Amino acid sequence: MRQKKPRPRFPGLKLKDEDRELLRRKARERLTVRTWKRIRMLQLLDEGKTLAATAAAVGSAVPSVRRVGERYLAAGVEVAL
């Protein structure tokens, strides 16, 4: 059986002020559930919640939360959503 490589620890994220405001505005719009969950994931990670706590709060899986966070860190809010 092959051993999985351990994933590096998620570094956490802090939203830029303009991204935080953009997410706040978008959350008031009419959205798909997928987009709303991604917005909420970014907000909770910004508040310092763990991947597991964020996943539980939005009803998602930890790898999904990690991917959204990593996309934000790599390319910004529009790509993450």
Report how far apart, in Å, the C-alpha atoms of 14 and of each of 30, 40, 45 are: 25, 14, 8
pLDDT score of 3: 74
Torsion of CA 64, 67, 71, 74, to 10 degrees: 160
**Amino acid, single-letter form, for residue 74:** A
**What does the pLDDT average to over 42-71?**
94
Tell me: pLDDT of 8 over 70.
Answer: no
pLDDT digits (tens, 9 = 90+) for 21-40: 999 999 999 999 999 999 99
Residue 52: closest CA among 38, 62, 37: 62
Delimit the domains of the chain by residue range: 32-80
Q: Which residues lie closer than 8 Å to 32 by C-beta, 6 or more apart?
A: none
Report the percent of the chain where pLDDT is more than 90. Answer: 80
